[in-house]
Structure 1
Amino acid sequence: MVNFDGALLPKSSPILTHANRGLKYGDALFETLRCVNQTLFFWEDHYFRLMASMRILRMEIPMDFTLEFLEGEIQRTVVKNGLEDQPVRVRMTVFRKDGGLYDPTTNEVSYLIEVAPMESPFYLLNSGSYEVELFKDYYLNKDMLSNLKTTNKILNVVASVFAKENGYNNCLLINGDKQVVETINGNLFLVSGNTVKTPPLSDGCLNGVIRKKLMEIIKTVEGLELLEESISPFELQKADELFLTNSIQGIISIGKYRKKEFKNKLAQQLLGKLNAKARLG
């Protein structure tokens, strides 16, 4: 079952019309998050990011779009699918209602909530080979729209096809200044000695929830220095560790970039702290 504007419908239901603005113009936002035993991981951060993004895109925020209301709708969808006692992947998409060309006829919105079971209630560090490569065909823009989690993800799609065709697990995306910004599906962190770097939002990376949480954690670890600075491709092969972060997998350790193989010692340490932070909310 999916939740469309509060109505719980079979997944096969013809919900979206040919005039859907998310389909026609990418006029939509989405949040993906974990739900374990009906507890939404970092829900407040996801909620406030969604509200801020809607304001930036000049979407009209309904009066009932409160933190509690949307949490309740997600939980209701989880229960209706019989997943209340399992770890669940949640996706909530918000899109402007049908009508108009580039200029919408309304700024009112609809929402769609989808849920699916997951295996583990905790973030687990990946094992085995995980190889990445630079994707240089197209670039991310250095602007605020790149910080938003919109459905305009054609660059990520094309990069994913490139990765699959060439046997890579992921790709590193760059901006017009040739700075490494993020991966196809997450924010990037680079470890060199006791310094941990992540690109600033001004470089065009997603304003990721786990990025934010991990930055908070790193600042509390004695002996580590956190820097929000641009990352040059030349730095990658000099790093001790590379890892990416997202709300579903937590931390993914990068094992290889070109001829350089990386450790995952700090990633393991930070993952434990991230799991603890997720349980505390």
Structure 2
Amino acid sequence: MINLNGKIVKENEATLPVLNRGFAYGDSVFETIRVINGKIMFWEDHYFRLMASMRIMRMEIPANFSPEFLEDEIKAIIEANGYSASPSRIRFAVYRQQGGYYTPATREIGYVLTAEKMEDAFYLFNAKPYEVELFKDHYVTSGLLSTIKSNNRAVNVLGSIYASENSYDNCLLLNEKKSVVEALNGNIFLVKGNTVKTPPLADGAINGVIRKQLINILNKTEDYTFEEASISPFELQKADELFITNVAMGIQPISKYRKKEFKHKVAKDLLSKLNVKARLG
């Protein structure tokens, strides 16, 4: 079942025009949201990121787009798919209404929600081998537009194909300044000693919800020193640990980059802290 502009319809009945601007121009933003037994994880962060993304894209935010209204829309699609008592993954996409060419005929929006069942309620630690490489065919452009989750994901798609063709589990993306920005599907963190580092949003890193949660955790603990600073590719092989974060998987430790193999002690510790925070809401 699909929630299309507030109406619950069957998937084969959820149709959009061929000239939908999300399809024609990538004129769309989205949120990937994890829900556990009907509870939306980190809902406030998702809501404000969605509102910020719509403002950056100069979309008209409907008057009824309150946190309560959108929360009800998410719960409606969960119930319609029978996921109220199980973990699920929601994709909440907002697109600008059809009309115009590069210049939109309107700034009004439509939205669509889809739900997918997940196996695990909370984040599990994955210690299986996980190898990454740099993707250097195309770059992420530093700046505000790269920080939002829009439908313009060509670099991520091409990087994912490259990873698949070369038997890598993931790739790390660079910006035009040749700084490491993120992974194909999440933010990147580097550990050296007791220092944990992640690229700043100004470098073009996605404004990740789990990234924000981990920064809050790191700033409140005396166990680690946190830095938000650019990461050079040369730092990767000198690191003690590398890990990737996103809402769906939580924290994914990287086991190998080129000839360097990594530990995962800090990643495991931070994952346990993240699960505590998720349970407490």
Please tell me the TM-score bracket, short chain as reference. Answer: over 0.9
**Cα deviations across residues 179-221 of structure 1 (Å, max 9, x unaligned)?**
0000000000000001001000110110111000000001122
Map 1:73-152 → 2, pairs under 5 A: 73-152=73-152
- What is the aligned partner in structure 2 of residue 64 from structure 1? 64
Q: Letter of the aligned partner of 2:192 in structure 1? A: S
Q: Distance in 1 between matches of 2:223 and 2:55?
A: 39
SS in 2 for 1:12: helix
| Paired position in structure 2 for 1:258 | 258
Indicate conservation of the 8 Å contact 2:122/2:275, yes or no: yes
| Secondary structure class of the residue paired with 2:59 | coil
**Does residue 272 of structure 1 match 2:267?**
no
**Cα displacement (A) at 1:14:** 4.5
Matched residue of 1:181: which SS?
strand
Q: How many residues were matched structurally?
A: 281
Q: Secondary structure at the match of 2:252?
A: strand
The answer to whether the Cα contact below 8 Å between 2:35 and 2:41 also exists between their aligned partners in 1 is yes
- Which residue does the alignment assign to 2:172? 172
What secondary structure does 2:30 align onto?
strand
- Is 1:235 the counterpart of 2:243 in the alignment? no
Q: What percentage of aligned pairs have identical amino acids?
A: 56
2: CA distance, partners of 1:26 / 1:95: 8
Alpha-carbon shift at residue 125 of structure 1 (Å) = 1.6
What amino acid is the match of 2:169? N
Instruction: Answer whether contact 2:2 2:14 (CA < 8 A) is retained.
Output: no
User: Cα deviations across residues 1-34 of structure 1 (Å, max 9, x unaligned)?
Assistant: 0000011011112511111000000000000011
- Determine if contact 2:93/2:111 at 8 Å carries over to the other structure: yes
> Deviations for 1:240-279, whole angstroms, at most 9, x for unmatched residues?
0000100111100000000001011011100011011111
Partner of 2:48: 48
Instruction: Give secondary structure in 2 for the equivalent of 1:133.
Output: strand
Q: Secondary structure at the match of 2:11?
A: coil
Deviations 1:16-66 (A, max 9, x none): 111100000000000001101110000010000100111111100001100
Q: For 2:30 and 2:79, how far apart are their aligned partners in 1?
A: 21
**Contact 2:4-2:14 at 8 Å conserved across structures:** no
C-alpha separation in 2, matches of 1:27 and 1:279: 35
Give the unaligned 5+ runs of structure 1.
none
Distance in 2 (alpha carbons) for counterparts of 1:13 and 1:133: 41
The amino acid of 2:168's aligned partner reads Y
Deviations 1:91-131 (A, max 9, x none): 00000011110011110000000001000000112131100
Letter aligned with residue 222 of structure 1: E
TM-score, with length taken from structure 2: 0.99
Question: 1:113-151 CA deviation, whole Å, 9 max, x = no partner?
Answer: 000100000011213110000000111101100011101
Question: Could you tell me which residue of structure 1 aligns to residue 162 of structure 2?
Answer: 162
Cα deviation, residue 280, structure 1: 1.5
Structure 2: gaps of 5 or more residues: none
SS at match of 2:215: helix
The answer for the alignment partner of 1:214 in structure 2 is: 214
Q: Which runs of 4+ in 1 moved over 2 A?
A: none
Residues 195-206 of structure 1 mapped to structure 2, 5 A cutoff:
195-206=195-206
Question: What whole-Å deviation, never above 9, does each CA across 1:138-169 have from its counterpart, x for those lacking one?
Answer: 11101100011101000000000000000000
Equivalent-residue separation in structure 2 for 1:41 and 1:164 (angstroms):
30
